[in-house]
Amino acid sequence: MVDSSWDNGGLPPVKKGLGTGMKVLLGCGIAALLAFAACAVGGAILGNMIKKDPKAFEKRMEGFAEGLVRKDWERFRNLVDRLQSDEGAAGIYRSNPGLHQAYATEGQFLQAVRSWRPHLTPLPDKVPVGRRHRRHRRDDAAEEPFPSDAATPEAAREPAVDIQKVFGTTRIQCRYPNGTKLSVTFDGEQIQRLEVE
């Protein structure tokens, strides 16, 4: 007589251990636990850095913010410098077809720039970071007022700057101490809009 214990009657063999769904769930749980632990440790280290030397931390963050906006600031400064002469302004008009919607001819653009020129002083070399600079994107369309804190005489002479970047479009607004507001919208490297109020 033959022992038939090896035959299971055609049924698939019974699997031992955890199923695929449980293995995935277990893996996700471990990954979430590691992420939580990393955030907790990072937060503790960051909190300790801030507590030990808040001034050094502030300088480090300002340096980080300066690095983020340096290219945009240089491009904006270059634009303001070029607007100081008719040749520079004409070059801006010719190389940026987006301006043709607001100003039908180069003459109209130059006439507008000449009226703005007394109000547009050259911008400082130093990238504006800290209380006089904002870099963000808000979803609501309501404009917030520019920061008006002038705790020091130097801050009162510096322009307030707002840089917003959304999907390759950069909008820079600069409020001069005299109240003039220069707003420029770049689409990539091209100027799409240029306004002075």
pLDDT tens digits for range 57-71: 887 877 777 777 788
134, 161 in Cβ contact below 8 A? yes
Which class for 148: exposed (0-12), middle (13-18), buried (19 or more C-beta within 10 A)? exposed
pLDDT tens digits, one per residue of 15-72: 777 888 888 999 999 999 999 999 999 988 888 888 888 888 887 877 777 777 788 8
Q: Exposed/middle/buried for 181, CB within 10 Å: 0-12, 13-18, 19+?
A: middle
Is 99:191 a contact under the CB 8 Å cutoff? yes
Contact 127, 174 (CB under 8 A): no
Pairing of strands 190-196, 181-187: antiparallel
Chain segment 70-119, per-residue pLDDT in tens: 888 888 899 999 999 999 999 999 998 888 888 899 999 999 999 988 88
The type of residue at 77 is: R
